[in-house]
Amino acid sequence: MSAKNSNPVMGAKGRYLEAQRRAAAKEADPKRIARSEHNRAKYAAKLPATTPIQPTQNSAPNSSTAQEDTKPRYCICHGDRPIAYHSLCQQSVDSLRFTRPPKLPSDVVGVFRERAMEVAWRVKPAKTKYELTQDKMAKPEVAEYVAANVIKKGMDYEAGVAAALPEIKDSVEIGITANIAKQSPAVQLALNESLKKRGLDGDSREAFVTQLWSWFLSTNPAEERRQLQAARILGEHFIKNAPPSSESAVLRIEGIDDGLKKMFGADYDTVKKLKPVSTDVPVEEFEEDDSEIGQD
């Protein structure tokens, strides 16, 4: 070992400290600092002028997310068709909307059908033609127009609907639409309003009948002419145009109970409980019974 470096450990430490001292002196050299600043400015002048972009929260997705967004997505019912609604293709959506009860196409099978059934309830069924007509009659302007035509046709709903909706040609469809108009609250409300303006609604009828009775029962000699007219109108309504009664008249014979008690005696209560029998007996049966009389 040479006398210059008798302690190798201390020599290594001394060399390390010497290297640190030389590095610090080099960094503090004014010429080196000026040269570094000159090179930095020269490099910055070569770069294009750009505006620094400040990153924000929820910034643009990375490249993998962008690739996922641009990648076409396919339905869960067939697996190879583009999605229309609710992860289903257009064919499956149409099948669920326009079939009663709603069902998926027959070519959706296996696992695809199981997955599609999980979201099939989200597809709302399309309205039927009957429901669309009901919605149409619920509109105030349509209800008023239909009601005006019904009144114009003498309260004939079918003729009124045919006049209000000339696009309906089939007689069966006209009848169905007329029934919808009869059941529509909007049409009935418009009908009552129109009749009330003309004095033909139910309240006006009751007021008219009340006035007729007041004239008929009047004792004022000055209203004799009105009394006769009221009597004629009420007589035509209650007698001439009265609806036939469906009740059968019952004939009561006074004193018949006493005669039957004398006739049947103790068996009267049993006879009284008997129900009438049908008299529709063929004539041949009576002839046979008469022929048997006297053979004994």
* pLDDT for the residue 130: 87
CB 192 within 8 A of CB 201: yes
DSSP, res 237: I
pLDDT at 51: 46
Per-residue pLDDT, 62: 55
Residue with tokens 């909706």: 165
What is the longest distance spanned by two Cα atoms in the chain? 177
Using CA atoms, how far apart are residues 66 and 81, in angstroms rounded to an integer? 21
Per-residue confidence (pLDDT) for residue 79, from 0 to 100: 85
Token readout for 26 is 């080099």
Distant-in-sequence, close-in-space partners of 95: CB < 8 Å, separation ≥ 6: 102, 103, 104, 105
| Model confidence pLDDT, tens digit, residues 87-126 | 899 989 999 888 888 888 888 888 888 888 888 888 888 8
The pLDDT of residue 244 is 64
Predicted confidence at residue 1, as pLDDT, reads 46
CA distance 208 to 229: 13
Three-state DSSP at 82 gives strand
Kindly report, residue by residue over 226-254, the tens digit of the pLDDT.
888 888 877 777 766 656 666 666 667 77
- Enumerate residue ranges in the chain where pLDDT < 70: 1-12, 46-70, 198-204, 239-251, 276-296
Predicted pLDDT at 61 = 52
Are 212 and 238 in contact, with CB atoms under 8 Å apart? Answer: no
Q: Please state, for a pLDDT cut of 90, what percent of the chain lies above it.
A: 2
